[in-house]
Amino acid sequence: MIKIGMMIGDRYEILEKIGTGGMSDVYKAKCHKLNRFVAIKVLKQEFSENANFVSKFRTEAQAAAGLMHPNIVNVYDVGEENGIYYFVMEMVEGITLKKYIEKKARLSVKEAISIAIQVSMGIEAAHNNHIIHRDIKPQNIMISKEGKVKVTDFGIAKAATSNTITSNVMGSVHYTSPEQARGGYSDEKSDIYSLGITMFEMLTGRVPFNGETTVAIAIKHIQEELPSPREYVPEIPVSVEQIVFKCCQKSPDRRYQSMAELIDDLKQSLLNPDEDFVKVMEPDRKASTRMITEREMERIKRASAAKDNMEESMRLNRRYTDGGEEEEEDYDEDYDPRMEKITTVLAIVAALIIGCIVIVLVGRALGLFHLSGKNGDETGQEEQTQQVEMIDVTSMAVKTAQERLEKMGLRVELKYVENAAYPQNQVISASVEEGIMVDPGTVITLTVSAGTEGVSVPKATGITYEEAKNTLEKAGFVVNRSESSSSTVENNIVISQSPESGTKAPKGSAVTIVVSTGAEDSKIRVPELMGREEDEVLAMLIEAGLGLGTVGQMNSEDYPEGQVCYQSYSVGSFVDPGTAIDIKISMGGKAETYSYSGNITGPTAAEDPEYRDGTKVKVTIETADGTRLLDTETASFPVAVNYTGIKSATGKITFRYTNTTEPTQGVDEAGNPVEKPGTSTEKTIERTIEFTKES
């Protein structure tokens, strides 16, 4: 049985449970040999005694362990220890594509294609290793904090032979291919169909086929034509629409024949989205949609019934057989000479297209071609920006006023003056009066009281950021960094400061300096993350082409618990693509903390009369909120401890040890001398403790 804190394989320390499925549980662990965090999938105890389940689990783990690719959640290790069957996977911090789509309603075409290309590359690596995933869906695609897309959960994947493999598994019915729904053959092209459905959902925010039962949905996959994604989102380019159509053809032979072909068309759609270059074969009699037979309907119903009676992961792994029935004829079992001709033509066309793409790319790189497109001289009406109404900030704390104005999309500059009538750091006036309508981005200058003991602000402009920071901190100020692109000021040189040099400001107040990032070029503007939850922030950063850095916690009076209250780059700053933005999550207002210091004595005679000094004891201290302060083993008491910053008022000390007694001499009923064996008794003693409140 898996317990938090235990070691597996003499190297993996179990830290916490992070997921569960029908057959297995997933834990976060630390690999002490390589000093990294990993995810460990463990076969549930109720299945570990079943040789069939154990065999499947091992086979699937070993198949997945053969895959190493940047777009696949890699499997590092497979093992068994004391009846615990497990495999060790890459730990991916992020969200699923399903959750990402739900948060954004639907993705932009460019973002959907970018994700589809990365998913395709991961699946291609699996197919090249003769492994078919068979359960491609947004729930099995992860987007990491760095924006990397990874295919996960090869739990029902099977190593394929040179022939196709037979599957009666229904799979996830919204994304299942017609041949999987029929219980027929499934091969690499089944993954292509499921990816097409996933692309449809990314582009439109919905799945193409829905119904009240799994059977109803499966029948739609088999019989109904795929609706056009442009019915829901008209601006989807024709090439992207045709790619989805080709992926989701009913007949596997009319889909893309490999992930490489699909990747080529996806990349082409990024270059020429409005060109109709995707070639889909016209349906003939044998490739057209067929009505479902009674036998196939019975097959689907039985698969659906089995599916509904078990948890998802178990259902996906369960198989059944149709005793005595003849195998159903596949879609295009007979040889078709026309198909061979079409395939040859398509191969030639694909080669020509790829050659043209290479020529264009090389030409552009050498400056030989200039593609026409939108530019700064192009005429057109720009979207009118809605103005905002200036609020009254007089007598507000400067920090509050600044945050409120920035949330309205306004920029703030500070001007400190010595003033005895207003408390230090209180706004005296603003450069724009209350009620005036202004454009977003307008600079509002706040005149702020420096009290009567202001400190002169040194000059920080025209020097490097490091020099400016050092100068200001030596004068007693806190430095806030903001960034802006500039074609005239070199990278890392301070463009401006607020408050300006020579003015007076309270010691310890913030001075904001704007640092040049050089010419704008490919710089990305940092979005507003404050006041949002972590999952939403991750989605925003991925969309912007940025990454999520470290995530910390801090107390904040200004933001409710669970919302971002700090970001390492200011809103509107320009940073390089892929830059990691650190954030901190609010824990609410300042929390009360406690301390605990003293000596822990061993079990007393009142607690256990049989306890003897020198017995090896495992001692743990745990707070009421589950935080473990101490976890040690000792035979010597007292144990000195000293902890501060504890967030709970109470906790408990737990002693776990074994009392043993030596063998003793005695007599039996007949009066003969006998030796009575010693005993071993497991003991657990708990003490409740109260911590001292910190001032």
Q: Are 230 and 236 in contact (CB under 8 A)?
A: yes
C-alpha distances in angstroms, 502 versus 192, 447, 476, 510?
66, 15, 15, 15
Check if the beta carbon of residue 304 is closer than 8 Å to that of residue 184: no
- Tell me the longest C-alpha to C-alpha distance in the chain: 116
| Region class of 49: left (phi > 0), else alpha (psi between -120 and 50), else beta | alpha
- CA-angle at 124, arms to 119 and 129, nearest 5°: 135
- Active-site option among 10, 77, 135, 276: 135
142 phi and psi, to 5 degrees?
A: -105, 145
**Does 135 qualify as catalytic in the annotation?**
yes
Phi/psi for 530 (5° steps) reads -65, 140
As given in the structure block, the two tokens for residue 64 are 């997945």
Lookup: tokens for 319: 């198989």
- Crossing angle of helices 259-271 and 238-247, in 10° steps, is 170
DSSP type of residue 652: E
Closest listed residue to residue 16, CA positions, set 6, 312, 61, 24: 6
The alpha carbons of the chain give a radius of gyration, in whole angstroms, of: 33
* Alpha carbons 423 and 400: distance in angstroms, whole number: 15
> CA angle, 429 as apex, 428 and 433 as ends, to 5°?
155
Task: For residue 507, give both structure tokens.
Answer: 């010691």
DSSP H helices, 87-213, are 97-104, 109-128, 178-182, 188-204
> What DSSP letter does each residue of 471-525 carry, written as one string?
HHHHTT-EEEEEEE--SSS-TTBEEEEESPTTSEE-TT-EEEEEEE-SS-TT-EE
How far apart (Å, rounded) are the C-alpha atoms in residues 551 and 534? 9
CA end-to-end distance (rounded Å), the chain: 43
CA distances, 566 to each of 344, 545, 555, 590 (Å)? 59, 20, 11, 15
The counts of H helices and E strands in the chain are 15, 37
Length of the chain: 695
- Sequence-distant (≥ 6) Cβ neighbours of residue 314 within 8 angstroms: 21, 22, 23
Long-range pairs for 56-61: beta carbons < 8 A, 24 or more residues apart = 56/317, 57/23, 57/24, 57/85, 58/85, 59/158, 59/159, 60/154, 60/155, 60/156, 60/157, 60/158, 61/87
Q: Which residues are catalytic?
A: 135
